[in-house]
C-alpha cells in the first residue's frame, strides 16, 4: 500500500496519478527523501472536479445545515485525535521547529473548521420593507446558496493552516472543494482525506490533486470549466496567471498574495516590546510568513540601539533539527528557495549594504549540510530603490533604515506595489491612530504582530490580494446571494 501522503484523494478514495509521473518530497532539513508523490494528470483533475460537482447534488447538497456543521466540527476532533501524525507530517515537509508547528500549524489548522462552522451557524441575512405606489408595500429578503465547486490552491509556508482557512468556510457554507496543495508540502492535505472519510463527509466533497502549477494539476484545475470559483494563496505573479484563467467563464477569485511589509518604530515605543515583536515578525518560520517584516523603519534617536538589540536577538537564534527543544529557527522550504534567498544576500553586499549580522549559510555540520539553511540576516545602509527593499525575499532577513518624521515614514512605508501588513510601534496613542489609517495595507498592527481575531477581515491591498477572508467576509466569497422581493 502506498503512503497516503503522496496519493491523490478523489471522490473519497486514494489513487495514484493518471500522469504516471511521480516527484520526490525532499526534507529541507537534510536533503533526505520524505516520500514519493503521485502527480495528478488532467483526467484526475477532471475526475476530482466531476466528483465535487456530483457531491453538490448528493447528500451534501440536501443535508440540513445543523447536520452539515456537525460534520464540519467533527473534523476538529478528527485532526486532534491524530495530532502527532499531522505534526510529524507537517514538520517532515517543512522542516519547521516542532515547537512552532505544535502550537500554530496543527491546532489552528484544526480550529478553522470550528470557527467557520460557528460563523455560518450565527450568520443572518438582511430584510427591507419598502413602500409601493399602490400603498401595499413589499418586503425584500436575502437568501444565500453555496457557490459551487471551489478550486483551492495553496502555498507551502503554513500548509494545513492556510488550506483549512479556505476549506473550513467553503465546506461550512455547503460548497465542495478540489485542493491543490503546494508540491513542496503535499502531506497534510492528503492525510485530511482520511479524516474526512472517518467523520462521514460524503465522497466528492473534499478532493486533493497533487502536482505543480503551469502544465500540471494547478493549471488543469483553474482552467477546468466545472470550477465555479478559485481561492488562491501564493505569489503575486502566480495570482496574475491564475486570474487570466479565471477570466474564462468569469469565475470569482479570492487572492492572498505576496508582500513587502514594513515595521515602523517610533522613538516613543516600548523598546523591549518593539524589539521582541520585530524579532518575531522578521524571523518566525524562517521569515516565510506572508505577514512578516522585511523593511524596518526606526526613528533616528533610537536607531543605533534598535539595530544593536536586533543583532543580539538574531545572533541568539538557534538553527537545528526541528525536534530539538533548543531549535528556534528551521531551514527554508527547499534548496531552490535557498538559492533565491542567497541571491538576495549576495546582491545586498554587492550593492554596498552594511551586513549587521548573517549574510551566509550557517555551518551546522555534515549531517545537515544538504539542508536549505541560511543565516538570519540584518542589513543597513541600502538606497530605497534597492531590490532588497523593493522585492519580496521571503527569508529570515530585514533591512533597517532610519527616519526623521511621520510624513517621511508614511511615504516610505507606502512606497511599494504591495499592501499586506504593517506593524507600528509607539506608546503615543494619538500618533498610532493618526498613522495607521494612512498606511496602504490590509492588516495594521499597533504594538503587536500576528495577533489575529479570526472574525476580522484578512487580506491585502494593492498587489497583495483581492478580497478579504475571515469571519463573515469569507462568507461573501463562499456563497452566492439572491434578493427575494415580495410584493404584498
**Interface contacts to ligand NAD, rule CB under 6 A:** 153-157, 162, 180, 182-183, 212-214, 218-219, 222, 233-235, 238, 241-242, 256-259, 290, 392, 394, 420, 460, 464-465
DSSP strand E in 327-373: where? Answer: 354-357
Shortest Å, Cβ 302 to ligand NAD: 29
| 256 in catalytic set | yes
State which residue, 94 or 175, has the beta carbon closest to ligand NAD: 94
Query: What nine digits make up the cell of 312?
Result: 543580539
State which residue, 182 or 278, has the beta carbon closest to ligand NAD: 182
The label of the residue with cell 503546494 reads 182
State which residue, 185 or 377, has the beta carbon closest to ligand NAD: 185
Shortest Å, Cβ 244 to ligand NAD: 9
Q: Answer yes or no: are the C-beta atoms of 151 and 221 closer than 8 Å.
A: yes
d(CA 115, CA 123): 12
Shortest Å, Cβ 89 to ligand NAD: 17
| 397 in catalytic set | no
d(CA 75, CA 113): 7
Shortest Å, Cβ 450 to ligand NAD: 12
For the beta sheet containing 206-208, the strands, ordered from the edge strand earlier in sequence to the opposite edge, are 13-15, 8-10, 206-208, 176-180, 149-153, 229-233, 252-256, 465-466
- In 3D space, the residue among 8, 5, 6, 10 whose CA is nearest the CA of residue 49 turns out to be 10
Listed in sequence order, the residues at least 6 apart from 319 whose beta carbon sits closer than 8 Å to its beta carbon are: 327, 329, 330, 331, 362, 364, 373, 375
Cα dihedral sign, 325-326-332-338: negative
Phi-psi region of 185 (alpha: psi -120 to 50; beta: other; left: phi over 0): beta
State which residue, 218 or 396, has the beta carbon closest to ligand NAD: 218
Q: Which of 290, 319, 397, 422 is catalytic?
A: 290
State which residue, 290 or 296, has the beta carbon closest to ligand NAD: 290
DSSP summary character for residue 300: G
Shortest Å, Cβ 443 to ligand NAD: 9
Shortest Å, Cβ 215 to ligand NAD: 9
- In 3D space, the residue among 385, 28, 40 whose CA is nearest the CA of residue 180 turns out to be 40
Burial class (CB in 10 A: 0-12, 13-18, 19+), 77: middle
State which residue, 25 or 380, has the beta carbon closest to ligand NAD: 25
Instruction: State the CB neighbour count (10 A cutoff) for residue 408.
Output: 12
d(CA 352, CA 350): 5
State which residue, 169 or 259, has the beta carbon closest to ligand NAD: 259
State which residue, 233 or 474, has the beta carbon closest to ligand NAD: 233
State which residue, 69 or 229, has the beta carbon closest to ligand NAD: 229
d(CA 286, CA 288): 5
Shortest Å, Cβ 243 to ligand NAD: 10
Shortest Å, Cβ 306 to ligand NAD: 25
Q: How far is CA 396 from CA 328, 357, 377, in A?
A: 12, 11, 6
Q: Which of 256, 299, 440, 469 is catalytic?
A: 256
d(CA 402, CA 266): 10
Shortest Å, Cβ 466 to ligand NAD: 11
Q: What is the dihedral of CA 91, 95, 96, 101, to 10 degrees?
A: 0
d(CA 380, CA 296): 10
Secondary structure (3-state) at 164: helix
Shortest Å, Cβ 485 to ligand NAD: 38
CA atoms within a 13 Å half-sphere pointing along the CA-CB vector of 207: 31
Q: How far is CA 125 from CA 120, 131, 228, 472, in A?
A: 11, 20, 23, 11
Query: What nine digits make up the cell of 287?
Result: 521569515
Phi-psi region of 263 (alpha: psi -120 to 50; beta: other; left: phi over 0): beta
Q: Which residue is nearest to ligand NAD (CB)?
A: 213
**Catalytic residue positions, numbered:** 256, 290
Amino acid at each position: 500500500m502506498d503512503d497516503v501522503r503522496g496519493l491523490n484523494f478523489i471522490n473519497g478514495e486514494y489513487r495514484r496519478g493518471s500522469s504516471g509521473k511521480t516527484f520526490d518530497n525532499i526534507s529541507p532539513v537534510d536533503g533526505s527523501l520524505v516520500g514519493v508523490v503521485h502527480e495528478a494528470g488532467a483526467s484526475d483533475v477532471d475526475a476530482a472536479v466531476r466528483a465535487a460537482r456530483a457531491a453538490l447534488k448528493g447528500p451534501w447538497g440536501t443535508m440540513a445545515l445543523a447536520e452539515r456543521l456537525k460534520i464540519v466540527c467533527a473534523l476538529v476532533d478528527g485532526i486532534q485525535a491524530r495530532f502527532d501524525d499531522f505534526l510529524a507530517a507537517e514538520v517532515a515537509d517543512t522542516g519547521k521547529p516542532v515547537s512552532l508547528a505544535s502550537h500554530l500549524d496543527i491546532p489552528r489548522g484544526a480550529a478553522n473548521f470550528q470557527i467557520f462552522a460557528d460563523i455560518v451557524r450565527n450568520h443572518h441575512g438582511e430584510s427591507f420593507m419598502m413602500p409601493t405606489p399602490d400603498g401595499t408595500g413589499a418586503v425584500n429578503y436575502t437568501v444565500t446558496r453555496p457557490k459551487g465547486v471551489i478550486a483551492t490552491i495553496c502555498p507551502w509556508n503554513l500548509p494545513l493552516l492556510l488550506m483549512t482557512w479556505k476549506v473550513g468556510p467553503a465546506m461550512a457554507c455547503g460548497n465542495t472543494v478540489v485542493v491543490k496543495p503546494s508540491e513542496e508540502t503535499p502531506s497534510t492535505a492528503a492525510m485530511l482525506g482520511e479524516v474526512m472519510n472517518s467523520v462521514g463527509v460524503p465522497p466528492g466533497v473534499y478532493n486533493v490533486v497533487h502536482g505543480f502549477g503551469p502544465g500540471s494539476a494547478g493549471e488543469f484545475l483553474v482552467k477546468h470549466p466545472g470550477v465555479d470559483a478559485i481561492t488562491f494563496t501564493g505569489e503575486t505573479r502566480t495570482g496574475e496567471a491564475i486570474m487570466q484563467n479565471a477570466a474564462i467563464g468569469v469565475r470569482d477569485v479570492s487572492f492572498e498574495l505576496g508582500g513587502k511589509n514594513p515595521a515602523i518604530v517610533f522613538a516613543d515605543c516600548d523598546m523591549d516590546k518593539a524589539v521582541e515583536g520585530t524579532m518575531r515578525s522578521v524571523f518566525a518560520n524562517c521569515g516565510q510568513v506572508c505577514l512578516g517584516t522585511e523593511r524596518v523603519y526606526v526613528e533616528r534617536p533610537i536607531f543605533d540601539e534598535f539595530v544593536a538589540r536586533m543583532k543580539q536577538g538574531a545572533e541568539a537564534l538557534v538553527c537545528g533539527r526541528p525536534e530539538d527543544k533548543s531549535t528556534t529557527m528551521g531551514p527554508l522550504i527547499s534548496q531552490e528557495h535557498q538559492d533565491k534567498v542567497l541571491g538576495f544576500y549576495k546582491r545586498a553586499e554587492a550593492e554596498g549594504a552594511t551586513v549587521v549580522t548573517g549574510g551566509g549559510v550557517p555551518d551546522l555540520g555534515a549531517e545537515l549540510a544538504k539542508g536549505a539553511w541560511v543565516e538570519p540576516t540584518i542589513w543597513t545602509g541600502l538606497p530605497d530603490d534597492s531590490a532588497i527593499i523593493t522585492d519580496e525575499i521571503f527569508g529570515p532577513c530585514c533591512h533597517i533604515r532610519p527616519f526623521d518624521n511621520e510624513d517621511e515614514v508614511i511615504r516610505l512605508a507606502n512606497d511599494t506595489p504591495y499592501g499586506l501588513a504593517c506593524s507600528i510601534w509607539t506608546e503615543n496613542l494619538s500618533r498610532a491612530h493618526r498613522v495607521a489609517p494612512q498606511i496602504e495595507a490590509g492588516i495594521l498592527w499597533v504594538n503587536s504582530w500576528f495577533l489575529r481575531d479570526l472574525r476580522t477581515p484578512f487580506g491585502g491591498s494593492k498587489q497583495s490580494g483581492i478580497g478579504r477572508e475571515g469571519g463573515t467576509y469569507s462568507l461573501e466569497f463562499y456563497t452566492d446571494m439572491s434578493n427575494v422581493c415580495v410584493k404584498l
